[in-house]
Amino acid sequence: MANLTGKAKAERTYDAIVIGSGITGGWAAKELTEKGLKVLVLERGPMVKHIEDYPTAQTAPWEVKYPRAKLPDAELKAHYPVQNRTGYALTEYTQHFFVKDDENPYTEDKPFDWIRGYHVGGRSLLWARQSYRHSDLDFEANARQGVGVDWPIRYADIAPWYDYVERFIGVSGQAEGLPQLPDGVFQPPMEMNCVEKAFKASTEGKFGRRVTIGRAAHLTAPTEEQLALGRGKCQYRNMCMRGCPFGAYFSSNSATLVAAERTGNLKIRPNSIATSLIFDEKTQKATGVKILDEATRQEEAFYAGVIFVCASALNSTWLLMNSTSRRFPNGFGNRSDQLGRNVMDHHLNVGAQGLVPGYLDEYYSGRRPNGIYVPRFRNLGDEKSARKDFIRGYGYQGGAARLGWDRDQPGIGAERKAALSQPGPWAFRIGGFGEVLPNPENRVTLNKARTDKYGLPTLTMDAVIRENELAMRKDMQAQAIEMAEAAGFTNVTGFDTGSPLGLGIHEMGTARMGRDPKTSVLNAHNQVWECRNVYVTDGAAMTSSSCVNPSLTYMALTARACAHAVEAKKRGEI
Q: What is the pLDDT of residue 137?
A: 98
Cα–Cα distances (Å) from 286 to 8, 137, 229, 294, 533, in that order, read 19, 36, 34, 23, 7
CA atoms within 13 A on the CB side of 460: 8
Cβ contact 513:524 at 8 Å: yes
Residue 86: inside a domain:
yes
Cβ contact 272:294 at 8 Å: yes
Instruction: Give per-residue pLDDT as tens, 343-379.
Output: 999 999 999 999 999 999 999 999 999 999 999 999 9
Q: How many domains does the chain have?
A: 2
Residue 178: inside a domain:
no
Tell which residue, 524, 98, 549, has the closest CA to residue 345: 549
The model's pTM is: 0.97
Q: Are residues 449 and 562 in the same domain?
A: yes
β-pairing verdict for 285-293 and 299-309: antiparallel
Q: What is the pLDDT of residue 409?
A: 74
N- to C-terminal Cα separation, the chain: 27
- Cα–Cα distance between 350 and 339 in angstroms, integer? 31
Q: Are residues 353 and 310 in the same domain?
A: no
Cβ contact 231:246 at 8 Å: yes
What residue ranges of the chain have pLDDT lower than 70?
1-5
CATH of the domain at 61: 3.50.50.60
Amino acid code (one letter) for 393: G
Beta bridge partners of 451: 457
Residue 488 is part of which domain span? 190-213+346-435+466-499
Tell which residue, 106, 116, 113, 125, has the closest CA to residue 44: 116
Q: Are residues 324 and 427 in the same domain?
A: no
Q: What is the pLDDT of residue 539?
A: 98
Residue 72: inside a domain:
yes
- Cα–Cα distance between 497 and 499 in angstroms, integer? 7
DSSP letter for each residue of 239-261:
-GGG--TT--B--IIIIIHHHHH
Q: Are residues 135 and 277 in the same domain?
A: yes
Q: What is the pLDDT of residue 286?
A: 98
CB-count exposure of residue 359 (10 Å: 0-12, 13-18, 19+): middle
Instruction: Give per-residue pLDDT as tens, 289-314.
Output: 999 999 999 999 999 999 999 999 99
Q: Are residues 113 and 144 in the same domain?
A: yes
Residue 152: inside a domain:
yes
CA atoms within 13 A on the CB side of 203: 25
Amino acid code (one letter) for 499: S
Residue 63: inside a domain:
yes
Residue 409: inside a domain:
yes
Q: Are residues 256 and 111 in the same domain?
A: yes
Q: Are residues 250 and 165 in the same domain?
A: yes
CATH of the domain at 209: 3.30.410
- Cα–Cα distance between 18 and 42 in angstroms, integer? 6
Q: Are residues 272 and 333 in the same domain?
A: yes
Q: Are residues 12 and 153 in the same domain?
A: yes
Q: Are residues 62 and 209 in the same domain?
A: no
Inter-axis angle of helices 194-207 and 467-486, to 10 degrees? 110
Q: Are residues 302 and 363 in the same domain?
A: no
Residue 309: inside a domain:
yes
- Cα–Cα distance between 116 and 453 in angstroms, integer? 16
Residue 492: inside a domain:
yes
62: helix, strand or coil: helix
Q: Are residues 274 and 370 in the same domain?
A: no
Tell which residue, 132, 137, 142, has the closest CA to residue 155: 137
